[in-house]
Structure 1
Amino acid sequence: MARSVDNPLALALLGLLMERPMHPYEMAAVLRERGKDASVRINRGSLYDVVAALEGQGWITPTARVREGNRPARTVYELTGEGRAAFAVRVEEQVRTPRREFPLFLTAVAYLGALGPAGAAAALRERADRLRAAIADDERALREALASGAVPRLYVIEAEYAAHMTRAELDWVTAVAEEIDAGTLAWPGEPAASAPEKTKGTDHDLSG
């Protein structure tokens, strides 16, 4: 059987349905309200595709049709026993087992030398500025999600993890840019700058 729960959006939807039954529109709204659209891609087509796949695997099941005003009726889904078990197993596996991931930045930074010292330092400084802005946005969204007290911290704790990871990346990017500016990071064809020698004092120096 295909493991639809490997899809990050599927995992997020199953997690929501652990709380209560919902229709897909509500699922999307709650994910965005909690800032989870920063970690999973949410659009109407992909969401309904994942919902259909989860229903096909027997992990969720429709329980009701609801109509709000003049809007079309919406199908409410709930988690099945099989879906609850599959969700718990997958969460435990992902928490316990680190996996090597391959983000685009990791691929690009391997070829930092192609930009030359000035270009590389400028690119890293610009990335650092954008990381600072992203951290500020994420922290603001987390504060807003928790402000009302309606959302338990545990439901948005991944936002804390993401902020910590972004801050760690910011520290590394900033440090490398500073090394390039200082000339201590060797570039192909350009020797790394050596540390300045400490000047020894003389009798004349000491006497003033």
Structure 2
Amino acid sequence: MPRKRKVSNLMGLAVLSTLAAGPAHRYEIAARMRSWGKEHDMGVKWGSLYTVVDNLAKHGYVEVAGSERDGARPERTIYRITESGQAEMNDWTRELLSSPEPEQRRFMAGLSILMVLPPDEVADLLAQRITRLDNTIERTRAELATFEGTLSHLFLVEQDYELAMLEAEAAWARTLHTSLLDGTFPDLQAWRDWHQGIVPPEQITASTEGGTDRSQQRPD
């Protein structure tokens, strides 16, 4: 089970991994993260950078290594990762790689209540999603191709994973879309009748582990 961390924002891990490459001030930290694509990999919110760095310093994961001034610009504080910060970074990375953790996914949330929309509309929406997924897959493949022969695959594993997940989702969405079009989706007619104001001959129920039924009800 993932343990509670003093700094739980993934941006904290991004900062630690950036400083592991060498001391830097906040501007350099941001520049490194951008060049390494961390805003994409870890959902970085740049407005939180100062707060995250301060929190890391508060808990002893980073420390001030000095300062510098560039011309008339304000003095910049330079940070470096500490021994405890290195240990936290390593432990956090081990956890992320070894422990699957349920994620809140917007698509899954939509699927859980897709019955509130008519089947034909759901099919149209899935078609739009598939088109967008295909476009993203094409862009991701193109990005990976630009790095072939110039960058070690060690630094591209996360994009390779993203591509595999996108392809898997697109394949699954196509299967669902096809079943709605060819009529093979289970209880499709009952679903249509529901939206036409006809009471289905049977209510589809699912029993929870505790024995409670989750009965479908016609939407208002």
Counterpart secondary structure, 1:175: helix
* Superposition TM-score, scaled by structure 1 size: 0.79
1:189 counterpart letter in structure 2 = A
Distance in 2 between residues matched to 1:73 and 1:43, nearest whole Å: 24
Deviation for aligned residue 1:109: 0.9
Match among 82, 85, 88 for residue 86 of structure 1: 88
Matched, 1:32 2:34: yes
Distance in 1 between residues matched to 2:190 and 2:123, nearest whole Å: 17
After superposition, the C-alpha distances for 1:19-77 in whole angstroms (9 at most, x for unaligned) are 22222222222222232222323343211111110010000112122334554332221
Distance in 1 between residues matched to 2:175 and 2:105, nearest whole Å: 20
Deviation for aligned residue 1:83: 0.5
Distance in 2 between residues matched to 1:155 and 1:55, nearest whole Å: 27
The unaligned stretches of length 5 or more in structure 2 are: 193-220
Q: Is the 8 A contact 1:34 1:156 kept in 2?
A: no
Match of 1:11 in 2: 13
1:121 counterpart letter in structure 2 = A
After superposition, the C-alpha distances for 1:59-99 in whole angstroms (9 at most, x for unaligned) are 01121223345543322211100000111111112211111
Matched, 1:137 2:134: no
Q: Is the 8 A contact 1:5 1:90 kept in 2?
A: no
Matched, 1:164 2:164: yes
Q: Superposition pairs for residues 41-120 of structure 1, below 5 Å?
A: 41-120=43-122
Q: 1:188 to 1:79 in 2, by over 3 A?
A: farther
Distance in 1 between residues matched to 2:26 and 2:149, nearest whole Å: 24
* Superposition TM-score, scaled by structure 2 size: 0.75
Counterpart secondary structure, 1:189: helix
Counterpart secondary structure, 2:42: coil
Higher gyration radius (CA) = 1
Same amino acid, percent of matched pairs = 30
Deviation for aligned residue 1:188: 5.7
Distance in 2 between residues matched to 1:155 and 1:25, nearest whole Å: 23
After superposition, the C-alpha distances for 1:135-191 in whole angstroms (9 at most, x for unaligned) are 2333444445x3694x64323421221121111111111111111111110326159
Q: 1:82 to 1:107 in 2, by over 3 A?
A: same
Match of 2:204 in 1: none
After superposition, the C-alpha distances for 1:118-151 in whole angstroms (9 at most, x for unaligned) are 111111111111112222333444445x3694x6
Distance in 2 between residues matched to 1:156 and 1:15, nearest whole Å: 16
Distance in 1 between residues matched to 2:15 and 2:6, nearest whole Å: 11
1:155 counterpart letter in structure 2 = F
Match of 1:182 in 2: 182
Match of 2:196 in 1: none
Counterpart secondary structure, 1:38: helix
1:37 counterpart letter in structure 2 = E
Match of 1:200 in 2: none
Q: 1:114 to 1:5 in 2, by over 3 A?
A: same
Match of 1:127 in 2: 129
Distance in 1 between residues matched to 2:182 and 2:51, nearest whole Å: 51
